[in-house]
Amino acid sequence: MTIQTRTAENGVNVAALLGAREALSKAPEAARFKWRATSKWLKGTHSRATVEGFFGLGGEQMHRQAYQFDSDHPEIFASEDNGAVPVELVLVALVGCLTAGVASVAQKRNIQLKSVQATIEAPMDLQGILGIDPNVRNGFDRIKVHYEIDADASAEDIAAIVAQSQKRSAVFDVITNPTDVAVTTSKA
């Protein structure tokens, strides 16, 4: 048996995360967050969304800076392709969330990551959104994510990290479970 003395360095502050978990379990109100984005239509199918502030720990919080995301449709849809297709942003969100989870779980388990690469793909039948076939849903048929991970760990330990990441992922939950969505309108 070897005694492991080295600490993995994946750039995740696990002590801070565990401290937050401990603190928030005692202060459930501070754990209630609210995420926001605003969006502005520019032209055609092109719009720009901004995230900057959010609510959490009992007060308003700010990102270090505002982040913007352009979305549009590609030229084959007779659009100008000024940004990602919104469904691609969904894939980006999922893989971003899962990869953050992989790094955090690996750090917690003291496993040094060397590289983490993911590919994500999701087939979709456009007969749904185009209203051609009412039996075809608008959204994805399914989503497939593949991780290629180089780390100081067995294949089984790596699989366990990815599984745990899914278990604790907000975006994975949002996509795999139904969410009540309320869209309201007012005249400017």
Partner 1 sequence: MAERRAGIIDVVVMGAGHSGLAMSRLLSERGIEHVVLERGQIANTWRTERWDSLRLLTPNWLSRLPGYAYPGDDPDGYMNSVQVAAFLENYARWAGAPVVSDTTVTSVTQSGVGYRVATTRGDWLCRAVVLATGAFNQPVVPHIAQGVPSGVHQLHAQAYRNPEQLHPGRVLIVGASATGVQLAHEIQNSGRSVTLAVGEHVRMPRTYRGRDVQWWLLASGLLDRRIEEEDDPERARRVPSPQLASTPGLTLDLNRLRNQDVEVVGRLAGIRDGKAQFSGSLRNICMLADLKLNRLLSAIDEWLDGRGRSLGIAPAERYEPTVTDDAARLSLDLREEVRTVLWATGFRPDYSWLRVPVLDPKGQLKHDRGVVDAPGLYVLGLPYLRRRKSSFIHGAEDDARELGAHLANFLGRKREQLGDRHAS
Could you list the residues that contact partner 1 (CB under 8 A)?
A: 142, 156, 159-160, 163-164, 166-167, 172-173, 175-178
How near is the Cβ of 167 to partner 1 at its closest, in Å?
Answer: 6
Identify each DSSP E strand in 33-188 by its residue range: 38-43, 46-56, 59-71, 113-121, 144-151
C-alpha 24/C-alpha 26 separation (Å) is 5
CB-CB contact of 112 with 10 (8 Å): yes
Phi and psi at residue 114, to the nearest 5°:
-105, -40
How near is the Cβ of 84 to partner 1 at its closest, in Å?
Answer: 23
How near is the Cβ of 166 to partner 1 at its closest, in Å?
Answer: 4
How near is the Cβ of 111 to partner 1 at its closest, in Å?
Answer: 15
Take residue 70 and report the two structure tokens written for it: 């352009």
Q: Name which of 17 and 66 has its Cβ closer to partner 1.
A: 17
Q: Name which of 69 and 140 has its Cβ closer to partner 1.
A: 140
Total residue length of the chain: 188
How near is the Cβ of 187 to partner 1 at its closest, in Å?
Answer: 30
Take residue 93 and report the two structure tokens written for it: 């969100």
CA 9 to chain centroid:
23
How near is the Cβ of 159 to partner 1 at its closest, in Å?
Answer: 6
Residues 6+ apart with CB under 8 A from 123: 140, 141, 142
Q: Name which of 82 and 166 has its Cβ closer to partner 1.
A: 166
Strand order in the sheet with 59-71: 38-43, 46-56, 59-71
Amino acid at 14: V
Q: Name which of 134 and 178 has its Cβ closer to partner 1.
A: 178
